[in-house]
Amino acid sequence: MDWRVFAREMASMARDLLAQDSVGSTLEHITGAATQHVAGCDAAGILLLHGKRVETLAPTHDLVVESDQLQEHLAEGPCFDAARPSIGERVFRIADFTAEQPRWPSYAVQARKLGVGSMMGFLLYTDDEDLGALNLYSHSSGSFTDDSETAGWLLASHAAVAFSSARSHAQMEQAMSTRHVIGEAMGILMGSHHLTEQQAFDVLRRYSQEKNIKLREVARRVCKEGRLT
């Protein structure tokens, strides 16, 4: 590998990642970059764990989804472990799935049937949070070298920062949108029922709790219908 060329590619990719306008677009650029820049990578995806439930983001191939679903079903596998910081390992590299894998015996057998020859998994993390795992697949055994692992780790480091930034921006935009909708709904209730600001908010909050509907959804309905429905 020409590391000077790779360094320029990573610098360009980092700028592209931060320029994306949504979390989904950012993640698609990450997994696309993995298949383009990491030698031996045929498919890539990002796995998030919600307890024992798996969520697959930006897969580049059906193999990624099938592998993640299999690991969720079996509650074992390298991607499953890579997304769990409690395991204590931030990188997994499995060179040959035709060989015995005592750590994930059930997954390894099924993975071979899916067409997995070798794979790598990288924990996506920053100093403040753990974000999931970037997982790279090859149909062939022995595809991933030390250089591949180094390239994957560098990509994962850039990806974690971009993912965190994009998610924080999306959360901020959602919070601002929610405040606007709630404020508009409160204004409608204040005008139609001669309520104070606090009384209008209390009406929305109680309705949300009694009906088990999110406050934002209650506010959206008031804005649409002009009243609580």
Name the pTM for this structure: 0.68
CA distance 41 to 135: 10
CATH class of domain segment(s) 3-169: alpha beta
Both structure tokens of 171: 């959360």
Q: What's the pLDDT at 44?
A: 96
Q: Which residues contact 42 (CB under 8 A, 6 or more apart)?
A: 35, 61, 63, 137, 138, 139, 143
Report the pLDDT value the prediction gives residue 167, as an integer from 0 to 100. 65
- Tell me the C-alpha distance between 31 and 45, whole Å: 6
Quick one: average pLDDT of 20-37?
83
User: Is domain 172-225 in CATH 1.10.10.10, yes or no?
Assistant: yes
Which tokens is 56 given? 């697959």
Give how far Cα 67 sits from Cα of 41, 48, 70, 109, 177, Å. 15, 13, 5, 12, 36
214-226 average pLDDT score: 84
| Calpha distance 165→34 (Å, rounded) | 19
| Mean pLDDT across 18-47 | 85
Q: What is the CA radius of gyration of the chain?
A: 23
Assess whether pLDDT exceeds 90 at residue 120. Answer: yes
**pLDDT at residue 158, as a whole number:** 78
Give the least confident one: 70-79, 128-137, 183-192: 128-137
pLDDT tens track for 36-53: 889 899 999 998 888 888
Q: Which amino acid is present at 229?
A: T
Q: What is the pLDDT of residues 89-107, one digit of tens each?
A: 788 899 998 887 888 889 9
- Element at 198 (helix H, strand E): helix 197-211
Percent of the chain scoring above 90 in pLDDT: 24
pLDDT of 65 strictly over 80: yes
The H or E element spanning position 221 is: helix 215-225
Higher pLDDT pick, 60 / 175: 60
Tell which wins on pLDDT, 23 or 217.
217
Angle, helices 23-37 vs 146-193, to 10°: value is: 170
| Domain locations along the chain | 3-169, 172-225
Give the H or E element holding residue 203: helix 197-211
Instruction: Give the rounded percent of residues in the chain with a pLDDT score beyond 70.
Output: 83
| Alpha carbons 76 and 147: distance in angstroms, whole number | 27
Average pLDDT, the chain: 82
